[in-house]
Amino acid sequence: MPENATYQQIGEIFARYDSFVIMSHVRPDGDAIGSQLALGLALEAAGNKVRMINDDGLPDNLAFLPSSERIELPPAEPLDVEVAIALDTATKPRLGEASLHAASKAKVWINIDHHKSNPRYGDVNHIDSSSPATGEILYKLITALNLPLTPATRDAIYVAVSTDTGSFQYPSTTADTYLMAADLIRRGLDVGRINSLTYDSHPYRRIQLTRALLNTLELTGGNHIAHWELTMATRDELGLKPEDSEGLIDMIRAIEGVTVALFFEELSDGKIRVSMRSKDPKVDASEVCSQFGGGGHALAAGIRMAGPMAEAKQRVLAAVQAAMPGNGN
């Protein structure tokens, strides 16, 4: 289906079926887990059977979300569900093999996302790249369809949107985003408490990680490109969890004069995870990442690519350099 399904068309599918599996991408962030909980709990409150699975389970830093214990690892056997819903997931393989297997009996696939690179892999797709977070699309869907907006769904939507907008700061944030936040607060959301749980409750090892990363920080490309790296050795030494690095890239993105920030991370399977942030709309991070099989948004994108680290760094930094203003762009 090349066109976006309307909220009403998605609502017709919700009305026709009563069993759903809700999924999101590997290494889930706040928008991934928040979106799963927001829609999953709304569909359940409307009387459906709902399972919420993620290949990497629930990260500790999001365990404060109400009913977050409902996020399960995928079961080994395929689930008896009619509808599979992928949220915030730019490509189908990013759901992870175990989740894809668990959802393999579903008759209908719904794909709701805000990544412009999303190839519309669902039977029904709603991709809105103007939305700063999948959570905001779900707020509009849930309110348009009059699905139950319980306190747990309310808090999950807020965290999804807050984390994907850098606390309502990135240029993707719109008047609609603030109106949504105001409505959630009117519905009883405790804004001080939820922000404190999201941003002021980090484990000490995250600060130790920041110190280790700062020791690897380099500026290149006339000081317009900042990058740092995390090796397996450091990960083992500090006993890190995948979510410990979430958002740290914002620190080097914030350096005055820096246009592109990169985080290179060694993964246990030998692959390299690259996080890329751009502050200049003329440097499209999603486009640079797509040269290596990755994707994302214009100002925030990522790659999973072959190692070793030194080679991945050299290749990606060369591509960033070529995309910088003044290099024939």
Interaction between residue 303 and ligand AMP (CB under 6 A): yes
Return d(Cα 243, Cα 265) in angstroms, integer: 12
Task: Number of residues interacting with ligand AMP: please give it, by CB under 6 A.
Answer: 16
Residue-by-residue DSSP string for 235-259: HHHHT--GGGGTTTHHHHHTSTT--
Instruction: In angstroms, give the least distance from the CB of 25 to ligand AMP.
Output: 6
Contact string (CB under 6 A) for ligand AMP, positions 82-101, x = contact: --------xx--x-------
Instruction: In angstroms, give the least distance from the CB of 230 to ligand AMP.
Output: 13
Contact string (CB under 6 A) for ligand AMP, positions 283-302, x = contact: -----------xxxx--xxx
Instruction: In angstroms, give the least distance from the CB of 263 to ligand AMP.
Output: 7
Whose CA is closest to 127, among 295, 281, 305, 15?
A: 295
Interaction between residue 88 and Mn ion (CB under 5 A): yes
Return d(Cα 99, Cα 106) in angstroms, integer: 12
Contact string (CB under 5 A) for Mn ion, positions 105-144, x = contact: -----------------------------x----------
Residue among 261 and 324 whose Cβ is closer to Mn ion: 261
Instruction: In angstroms, give the least distance from the CB of 229 to ligand AMP.
Output: 14
Whose CA is closest to 14, among 148, 151, 117?
A: 148
Q: Pick from ligand AMP, Mn ion, none: which does 265 bind, CB < 5 to 8 A by kind?
A: none
Q: Pick from Mn ion, ligand AMP, none: which does 51 bind, CB < 5 to 8 A by kind?
A: none
Instruction: In angstroms, give the least distance from the CB of 285 to ligand AMP.
Output: 8
Instruction: In angstroms, give the least distance from the CB of 133 to Mn ion.
Output: 5
- 21: helix, strand or coil: strand
**Close Cβ partners of 209 (under 8 Å, ≥ 6 residues apart):** 230, 234, 238, 240, 244, 245, 248
Interaction between residue 227 and ligand AMP (CB under 6 A): no
DSSP collapsed to 3 states, 192-241: HHHHHHHHCCCCHHHHHHHHHHHCCCEEECCCCEEEEEECHHHHHHHCCC
Which residues within the stretch 169-208 sit at the binding site for Mn ion (CB under 5 A)? Answer: none
Task: Number of residues interacting with Mn ion: please give it, by CB under 5 A.
Answer: 6
DSSP collapsed to 3 states, 305-325: ECCCHHHHHHHHHHHHHHHCC
Q: Which helix (H) or strand (E) holds 182?
A: helix 175-186
Return d(Cα 275, Cα 285) in angstroms, integer: 9
Q: Pick from ligand AMP, Mn ion, none: which does 295 bind, CB < 5 to 8 A by kind?
A: ligand AMP
> Quick one: how many helices (H) and strands (E) in the chain?
12, 12
- Is the bond into 325 cis (omega within 30 degrees of 0)? no
Summarize as ranges the residues that interact with ligand AMP (CB under 6 A): 25, 29, 90-91, 94, 115, 275, 294-297, 300-304
Interacting residue ranges for Mn ion, rule: CB under 5 A: 29, 31-32, 88, 134, 164
